């Protein structure tokens, strides 16, 4: 299949460049690890309060941090694309018969792989901190995070192709990422939030991802949050990939 | 055989609510095996036309056939048949020349082994071997441009599009690149290049089209263009004895082969169809009239004269 072959070629090229500077994968972990080590312990007190989800502070907090990694880690991949655009690399690829979807998928899959590596490293740090989780649930949650990475990376690429400048991309991403983070219940569970915030958060796909990941970490596979999380993130990922692939097809200048 | 043919190719953009017509109905025919030059000042629509022909930009109107395939109906087939070197090039600065070439060849469908082979071949023929495994961000302008050229020809396309191939290069690097372009032509590649360098158009191209404000203003071989528009220029210095200049001017003006005569200080400037045929006639006429010629010079019009006549502006001024 041409699309698979093309995707592999773009993936391999992107991965080679990432592996040339693997330090950035680790640097990207710095913030979530800070949260885990310096903020997680604060939750142990809060975990006793009524309304806090079951499972203990780190079992609630860690899945949230994984989603945060998926949000922040993949949201900024568009910057690399702008550098490629400026160097003419994208045009050089677009003039070949390479599949336009592969131009997106190859990159986005590289982002997913580095995201999953970051997740594993974070989980390794979380275990001694007090994380107790269902192994099967964690594995399924990683699939959800991979989808979420595809969603966020695709949006970042589509925005980068539309804006074409770092100066425009940075504030645009901040505009979206911060409210998405605060309304997702990553740091503090939304069960603690007043009703009006919960009403808004329903429209935040990341809040559903966090709910699904928490249920999975608890081994609560039958929980409807799991199904809702996969449906919301899966559908949005497809829409975002379509948007980004279309942007690659029509990219000009 | 025509390898590129366009009819009414046009492109308009909307910029801040205003419609900008970058290319307004371009008709072009390029014979296989030619070096075809697209000459015009910056912003004339050269790059936009090129980007349409290379499938990167969807035309607003008109159509084109390239290497037998319809640009609008079969862009994928067209991509297989063409190579493109953009103005800035498209090699990845973070990768080596070899990596860039291998990936490019593979994107065109080569398997790994033949991509490696082709890359090695190009690195050798363009003398890039010595730094083939260094990141391209360390390359000089000329090295970089040779790599860009290699990227465009990695799949041996029958048609190669070059956008301002020697822009910003020093004279040696430019001459070197011209050599490569000629070599490609000898191997049967059709080359379509844009330039705003008159010397380049003159030295390299078999045929030229001049574009200004999105329209082709004239087309032909460099020699035809220069002859068609400006003719040749003959500058005569006459011994200035009692009205000799005036008599000379009147005499020459009455000749059919002289288009125009201007008195420029003590010199007569004649615009003639064919300078090499006009010279003996001028000599005979003036001699017969007893006028003494002190100096005579024949100069060829430059493409700048062509451009000046067609657009009212000098290309050198607009290119600056």
Of B55, B82, B86, Cβ closest to residue A88: B86
Contact B94 A17 (CB under 8 A): yes
Span B114-134, mean pLDDT? 96
When the pLDDT of each residue in chain B is averaged and rounded to a whole number, the result is 89
Q: What pLDDT, on a 0 to 100 scale, did the predictor assign at position A220?
A: 92
**Non-local CB neighbours of B243 within 8 Å, separated by 6+ positions:** none
Q: What pLDDT, on a 0 to 100 scale, did the predictor assign at position A218?
A: 92
Contact A252 B56 (CB under 8 A): yes
Residue of chain B with shortest Cα separation from A248: B56
Q: Per-residue DSSP letters for A47-87?
A: TTSTTPPSS-HHHHHHHHHHHHHHHHHHHTTHHHHHHHHHT
SS3 annotation, chain B: CEEEEEEEEEEEEEECCEEEEEEEEEEEEEECCCEEEEECCCCCCHHHHHHHHCCCCCCCEEEEEECCEECCCCHHHHHHHEEEECCCCCCCCCCEHHHHHHHHHHHCCCCHHHHHHHHHHHHHHCCCHHHCCCEHHHCCHHHHHHHHHHHHCCCCCCEEEEECCCCCCCHHHHHHHHHHHHHHHHCCCEEEEEECCHHHHHHHCCEEEEEECCEEEEEECHHHHHHHHHCEEEEEEECCCCCHHHHHHHHHHCCCCEEEEEEECCEEEEEECCHHHHHHHHHHHHHHCCCCEEEEEEECCCHHHHHHHHHCCCHHHHHC
Span B295-320, mean pLDDT? 71
Please give the Cα distance from A180 to A185 (Å, whole number): 9
Q: What pLDDT, on a 0 to 100 scale, did the predictor assign at position A25?
A: 81
Span B37-56, mean pLDDT? 91
Of A9, A91, A97, Cβ closest to residue B90: A91
Cβ–Cβ under 8 Å, residues A212 and A228:
yes
- The DSSP H or E segment spanning A156 is helix A135-163
Cβ–Cβ under 8 Å, residues B241 and B247:
no
Q: What pLDDT, on a 0 to 100 scale, did the predictor assign at position B230?
A: 56
Q: What pLDDT, on a 0 to 100 scale, did the predictor assign at position B229?
A: 59
SS3 A200: helix
Q: What pLDDT, on a 0 to 100 scale, did the predictor assign at position B264?
A: 66
Contact B103 A95 (CB under 8 A): no
Count CA atoms closer than 13 A to B9's CA, side-chain side.
31
**Non-local CB neighbours of A182 within 8 Å, separated by 6+ positions:** none
- Picking from B103, B118, B148, B162 by the largest number of A CB atoms within 10 A of its own CB, the best residue to mutate is B103
Q: What pLDDT, on a 0 to 100 scale, did the predictor assign at position A50?
A: 79
pLDDT digit string, tens, across residues B128-168: 999 999 999 999 999 999 999 999 999 999 999 999 999 88
| Predicted TM-score (pTM) of this structure | 0.85
B26-35 b/e (C-beta count within 10 Å ≥ 16 → b):
bebebeebbb
Q: Is the pLDDT reported for residue A160 higher than 80? A: yes
Choose among B235, B74, B92: nearest CA to A84: B92
Q: Is the pLDDT reported for residue B93 higher than 50? A: yes
- Which of A152-161, B34-43, B157-166 is predicted with the least confidence, judged by mean pLDDT? B34-43
pLDDT digit string, tens, across residues B97-108: 999 999 999 999
Q: What pLDDT, on a 0 to 100 scale, did the predictor assign at position B320?
A: 40
Residue of chain A with shortest Cα separation from B83: A95
Grade residue A85 by pLDDT with cuts at 50, 70 and 90.
very high
- Picking from B87, B90, B157, B164 by the largest number of A CB atoms within 10 A of its own CB, the best residue to mutate is B90
pLDDT digit string, tens, across residues A25-56: 888 888 888 888 898 888 888 888 877 877 78
Grade residue B317 by pLDDT with cuts at 50, 70 and 90.
low
Of A6, A87, A90, Cβ closest to residue B93: A87
Contact B86 A96 (CB under 8 A): no
Span A201-227, mean pLDDT? 94
Interchain CB contacts (distance < 8 Å): A and B: 65
Span A99-122, mean pLDDT? 95
Cβ–Cβ under 8 Å, residues B154 and B114:
no
Please give the Cα distance from B21 to B213 (Å, whole number): 9
Residues written for chain A: 253
Q: Is the pLDDT reported for residue B318 higher than 80? A: no
B133 Cα to chain A: minimum distance (Å): 14
Grade residue A253 by pLDDT with cuts at 50, 70 and 90.
very low
Q: Say what percent of chain A tops pLDDT 90.
A: 73
Grade residue A130 by pLDDT with cuts at 50, 70 and 90.
confident
Residue of chain A with shortest Cα separation from B93: A87
- Determine whether A23 is exposed, middle or buried from the number of CB atoms within 10 Å of its CB (0-12, 13-18, 19+): exposed
- Determine whether A173 is exposed, middle or buried from the number of CB atoms within 10 Å of its CB (0-12, 13-18, 19+): buried
The two three-digit tokens of residue A35, written as one number: 């949260």
- Which of A52-56, A230-234, B260-264 is predicted with the least confidence, judged by mean pLDDT? B260-264
Chain A CB contacts of B108 under 8 Å are 96-97
């Amino acid at each position: 299949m041409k699309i698979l072959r093309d995707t592999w070629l773009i993936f391999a090229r992107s991965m080679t460049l990432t592996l040339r500077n693997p330090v950035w994968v680790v640097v990207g972990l710095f913030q979530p690890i800070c949260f885990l080590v310096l903020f997680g312990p604060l939750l142990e007190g809060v975990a006793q309060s009524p309304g806090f989800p079951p499972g203990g502070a780190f079992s609630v907090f860690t899945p949230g941090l994984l989603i945060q990694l998926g949000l922040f880690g993949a949201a900024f991949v568009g910057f690399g694309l702008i550098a490629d655009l400026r160097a003419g690399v994208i045009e050089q690829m677009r003039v070949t018969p390479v599949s336009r979807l592969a131009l997106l998928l190859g990159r986005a899959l590289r982002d997913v792989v580095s995201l999953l590596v970051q997740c594993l490293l974070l989980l390794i740090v979380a275990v001694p901190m007090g994380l107790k989780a269902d192994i099967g649930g964690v594995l399924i949650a990683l699939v959800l995070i991979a989808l979420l990475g595809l969603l966020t990376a695709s949006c970042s690429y589509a925005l980068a192709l539309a804006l074409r400048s770092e100066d425009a991309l940075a504030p645009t991403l901040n505009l979206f990422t911060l409210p998405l983070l605060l309304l997702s219940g990553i740091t503090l569970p939304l069960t603690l939030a007043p009703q009006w915030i919960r009403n808004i958060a329903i429209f935040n796909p990341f809040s559903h991802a966090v709910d699904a990941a928490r249920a999975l970490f608890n081994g609560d596979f039958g929980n409807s949050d799991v199904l809702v999380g996969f449906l919301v993130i899966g559908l949005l990922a497809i829409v975002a990939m379509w948007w980004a692939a279309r942007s690659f097809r029509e990219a000009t200048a | 055989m025509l390898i590129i043919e366009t009819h009414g190719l046009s492109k308009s953009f909307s910029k801040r609510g205003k419609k900008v017509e970058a290319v307004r109905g371009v008709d072009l025919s390029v014979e296989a095996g030619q070096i075809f030059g697209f000459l015009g000042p910056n912003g004339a629509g050269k790059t936009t036309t090129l980007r349409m022909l290379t499938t990167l930009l969807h035309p607003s109107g008109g159509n084109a056939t390239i290497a037998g395939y319809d640009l609008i109906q079969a862009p994928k087939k067209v991509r297989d048949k063409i190579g493109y070197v953009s103005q800035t090039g498209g090699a990845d600065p973070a990768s080596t020349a070899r990596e860039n070439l291998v990936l490019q060849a593979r994107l065109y469908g080569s398997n790994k082994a033949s991509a490696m082979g082709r890359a090695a071949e190009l690195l050798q023929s363009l003398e890039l071997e010595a730094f083939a495994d260094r990141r391209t961000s360390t390359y000089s302008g000329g090295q970089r441009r040779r790599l860009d050229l290699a990227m465009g020809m990695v799949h041996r396309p029958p048609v190669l599009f070059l956008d301002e191939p020697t822009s910003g290069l020093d004279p040696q690097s430019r001459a070197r690149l011209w050599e490569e372009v000629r070599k490609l032509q000898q191997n049967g590649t059709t080359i379509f290049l844009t330039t705003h360098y008159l010397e380049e158009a003159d030295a390299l191209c078999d045929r030229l089209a001049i574009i200004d404000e999105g329209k082709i203003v004239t087309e032909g071989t460099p020699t035809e263009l220069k002859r068609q528009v400006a003719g040749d220029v003959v500058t005569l210095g006459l011994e200035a004895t009692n009205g000799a200049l005036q008599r000379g001017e009147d005499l020459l003006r009455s000749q059919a082969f002289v288009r125009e005569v201007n008195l420029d200080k003590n010199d007569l400037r004649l615009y003639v169809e064919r300078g090499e045929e006009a010279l003996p006639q001028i000599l005979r006429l003036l001699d017969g009239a007893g006028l003494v010629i002190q100096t005579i010079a024949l100069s060829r019009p430059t493409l700048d004269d062509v451009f000046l006549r067609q657009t009212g502006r000098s290309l050198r001024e607009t290119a600056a």
